[in-house]
Structure 1
Amino acid sequence: MTAPYRAAWFDVTSGVAGDMLLGALIDAGAGPEAVQHAIDAVIPGAVRLTRSSVTRAGLRATRIGVEPLAEDHPHRTWRAIRGRIEEAGLPGQVGDRALAVFGRLATAEARVHGVPVEEVHFHEVGAWDSIADVVGVCAALHELGVARITASPAALGSGRVRTAHGDLPVPVPAVLELAAGWDVVGGGTGELATPTGMALVTALATECGGLPRLRAEATGIGAGTRDTPGRPNVVRVVLGSPPAAAVGADEESSAVVLEANVDDLDPRLWPGVLASLLAAGASDAWLVPILMKKGRPAHTLRVLAPRQRADALRDLIFRETSTIGVRESAVRKTALQRTWVRVSVADGAEVPVKVAHRGGVIVQATPEFEDVAALAAERGLPAAALLDAAVAAAVAHGLVPGAALPEAPG
């Protein structure tokens, strides 16, 4: 069993693209085989990752290439991509993160082009290599046991670039939309940040800032395609565990609650609305049945969100529901610290247990059901039996409420 509470910091001060971030995570120790396996589950037989050591402005880095193995069809809808990810049987955290990233991309493209989210057709980001980058990054983070992600301000670049939509200024509109609420700089000439790269950073990272205090354990450097003299075209990743004093501290953050009363929306649409809100960066979204004037049954839609995502989520509510008004109130969110501990359950296979803790003491310990279900399907076992085994393994390793939090290795 391993018991990491791992944090990751992305240094994107020279720009960011999906392949650069994937290269940095593999350079930091993520297993290429596990990453390839996750990609194959989503797009089987479509691509093969290649790895090489290169230099960028004199700095060693890992370059990840995506070699196509099948004919590509570049235009895909958000619905089609979401279906592939949902049906792939990925571990819960991998699938959830990949859906969040593509959900952010879909929301940005919908706003840029003025179409409903479900009707967005991806071009560059719908190609096999971009799917591989997103799924690969999420799988690499899972492989490395990363529970919390922060990132630096992002360099976006300047100039013009040729895209499927024609000649566009840099930063391209989708990148600017994805950068809402994030600290950015020009940083140099050319397209330094791609839509896929910005979606990965802003969907996965919870905070924008400098390198946080942590016990550094590993670093990785991922290379972009170009080698620009005097400016290393790389993304850096720093992995580590927080200092002991920080492990038990509650996370406090400013948040907003968006609300809307709706009495005339086809109820079959609500699951898709909630999924779209979560994919677009909401911390949570739910419905409350209510009775309105004249006895009309209705629902109150409530969305808990980081303050920086409020504008985008408000726009999404107006687009995806029939409401004509959205209320907003400021709240303070206090969340227990979380970490993931992997326990053995069947023939050496492992599943993660989510451990919520406070002051170094475990409050809750729950196996990740999606991971248990995926392993059960893979092994042909009943999910209920494997879930019981995961709970028993967690108890055997002392992961019970009131117990001391296991120390991170190292």
Structure 2
Amino acid sequence: MKILYYDCFSGISGDMNLGAMLDLGINPSYLLEELKKIRIDSYEIRISRDKRRGISGTRFEVFIPPESSPRHSRNYPEITLLIQESELSERAKELSLLIFMKIAEAEARIHDCPLEEIHFHEVGAIDSILDIVGAAVCLDYLQVDRVLSSSVEVGGGVVRCAHGILPVPAPATTEILKGIPIKYGGVPFETTTPTGAAILAATVNAFTDKVNFTPQKIGYGIGQRDAEIPNVLRVFLGESEGDLEEGVTEEDAWLVECNLDDMNPELYEAVMEALFEKGALDVYLTPILMKKSRPAVTLSVICSGDRKRDMEEVIWYQTTTFGLRSSRISKAMLKREFAEVKTQYGPVSMKYAVFRGRRIKSKPEYEDCKRLAMENGVGIKEIMDLLSAGITET
């Protein structure tokens, strides 16, 4: 499996990302020709070798000639149209739009307004458009199977932008990085920009500081600042030790748990329903014995990173626990297919697990079986037995 790994020990920005991609081996001529497919104002791109704290790499810079018209803000529909009307590949368009969507959604939440009303300032500028489209072009070119990233250094201090002086990380960056592990205060300036954050949020499959692959190429993208920590983005291109089996997908998730020994068991069902309504992937109870042989249960919740806070809020409000424990886990899942099966009592939705190109197990939808059992005055087991035996109507 071909892996791209972002090592964001000093953050990430759009220009650092393109510098790292070029340093990794992407042909500069190819990138420049692809960027010309975006019809925007005059600009000049400078690609050079540079160093930060003894680490050499590639620097990508965009310059706007003085004689060109001044930069102006663009709204989200304008940028979307600009990308859609270009001659970029469909994959590059899709990735570009996805990255811009991450920023637009963050800005809309911060300013409490519809996407269509969002006017980009820094992100609407020529250099940021080129950074985002360039990121999409490079990922399309590399054709990796999986994109991974380390936790992200965001820096510290304050940053000046169109809205004035703001704390680091800027509100847009913070919003985009929700659910993503960050490190704070490594240097007294901004190391991760909204553009860099959006590239990660839109393209990374999993965030982890524990890597297990064989590096084959390494690239360094040089940033604009200089500090004790090198202002450099490092990227690795390599192969994983073993490909995932056909039909198996893997993703990061969170496991949130607490022990309950003083709660009325009649309330468990309501808590579980509330967690599922908030987006939990799985919720389960495990009987345990605590000190002094007190019977209790462990409430376990599996969720995605962007739902973790919602899960915690439900548990704080609706259980008696005073503490939680959380850990990042990896989920491996079989590919699933769905089909409707007709029985003598009515149709039932069936879920099939696919492995190595064939269906290896199946499960009827419980709610369908329950509904048909009630409608026909039979037991749920009778309907499930029919399906297990393969007795269906043609």
The one-letter amino acid of 1:205's match is V
- CA distance, structure 2, for counterparts of residue 92 and residue 50 of structure 1: 27
- CA distance, structure 1, for counterparts of residue 164 and residue 149 of structure 2: 31
- CA distance, structure 1, for counterparts of residue 145 and residue 91 of structure 2: 10
Aligned equivalent of 2:136: 138
User: 3-state SS of the aligned residue for 1:41?
Assistant: coil
1:30 aligns with 2:30: no
CA contact (8 A) 1:72 1:127 kept: no
After superposition, the Cα gap between the structure-2 partners of 1:247 and 1:334, relative to the gap in structure 1 and judged at 3 Å, is closer
Aligned equivalent of 1:97: 95
The one-letter amino acid of 1:8's match is L
After superposition, the Cα gap between the structure-2 partners of 1:247 and 1:139, relative to the gap in structure 1 and judged at 3 Å, is farther
Aligned equivalent of 1:251, options 237, 249, 252: 249
- 1:348-387 CA distance string (max 9 Å, x none): xxxxxxxxxx97x678xxxxxxxxxxxxxxxxxxxxxxxx
Point out where structure 2 has 5 or more consecutive residues left out of the alignment. 255-302, 311-330, 336-353, 359-394
Aligned equivalent of 1:319: none
TM-score when normalising by structure 1:
0.61
CA contact (8 A) 2:207 2:252 kept: no
CA contact (8 A) 1:6 1:239 kept: yes
The one-letter amino acid of 2:225's match is R
The one-letter amino acid of 1:57's match is R
After superposition, the Cα gap between the structure-2 partners of 1:106 and 1:333, relative to the gap in structure 1 and judged at 3 Å, is farther
Aligned equivalent of 2:196: 197
User: 3-state SS of the aligned residue for 1:190?
Assistant: coil
Superposed displacement of residue 33, structure 1: 1.8
Point out where structure 1 has 5 or more consecutive residues left out of the alignment. 257-305, 314-331, 337-357, 364-410
Superposed displacement of residue 199, structure 1: 0.7
Aligned Cα RMSD in Å?
2.8
Aligned equivalent of 2:387: none
- CA distance, structure 2, for counterparts of residue 143 and residue 252 of structure 1: 23
- 1:333-356 CA distance string (max 9 Å, x none): 8366xxxxxxxxxxxxxxxxxxxx
Aligned equivalent of 1:216: 215
The one-letter amino acid of 1:153's match is S
Count of aligned pairs between the two proteins: 271
* Deviating more after overlay: 58-67 vs 125-134: 58-67
The one-letter amino acid of 1:225's match is Q
Superposed displacement of residue 211, structure 1: 5.1
Superposed displacement of residue 6, structure 1: 2.2
After superposition, the Cα gap between the structure-2 partners of 1:247 and 1:129, relative to the gap in structure 1 and judged at 3 Å, is farther
After superposition, the Cα gap between the structure-2 partners of 1:55 and 1:307, relative to the gap in structure 1 and judged at 3 Å, is same
CA contact (8 A) 2:7 2:150 kept: yes
Larger Rg, first or second structure (1 or 2): 2
Superposed displacement of residue 255, structure 1: 8.1
- CA distance, structure 2, for counterparts of residue 118 and residue 333 of structure 1: 38
Aligned equivalent of 2:120, options 106, 119, 122: 122
Aligned equivalent of 2:48: 52
**Structure having greater relative contact order (Cα 8 Å, sep ≥ 6):** 1
After superposition, the Cα gap between the structure-2 partners of 1:160 and 1:148, relative to the gap in structure 1 and judged at 3 Å, is same
Give % identity: 33
Aligned equivalent of 1:207: 206
1:152 aligns with 2:144: no
Superposed displacement of residue 247, structure 1: 5.7
Aligned equivalent of 1:292: none
